Amino acid sequence: MTTSQFALFASGLFFGGAVDHAILAAQGRQKTPYGVRVGVSGNWMMAAVDLLVAAMLYHLHTTADWRARKESNPRFPT
């Protein structure tokens, strides 16, 4: 598994976590999907952090994929 593939997989996991936290916060629930009591604002904050991590990992994926393509093809546009 390449770095690009792992980063894409992990970004999907964190994006799913962000969706879970956002749904629970919108419903007004106090607990996370794992039963930890964080409050509604805590679920919103955890959704934001998960979304940030997912975005960073997706950026890593695109950067690593771009570099791999560039190295394997000298005529790759820059």
Q: How many domains does the chain have?
A: 1
Mean of the per-residue pLDDT values of the chain? 92
pTM beyond 0.75, yes or no? yes
- Residue 77 is assigned to a structural domain of this protein: no
Phi, psi of 36 (to 5 degrees): -85, 130
Average pLDDT value for residue range 40-56: 97
Question: Looking at the predicted structure, is the pLDDT value of residue 74 above 90?
Answer: no
Separation CA 33–CA 43 (nearest Å): 10
Please give the pLDDT value at position 78: 61
CB 33 within 8 A of CB 55: no
Residue 78 lies in a domain: no
Q: What is the pLDDT of residue 66?
A: 83
Residue 36 lies in a domain: yes
Residues spanned by the domain of 60: 3-72
The residue that leads in pLDDT, 18 or 70, is 18
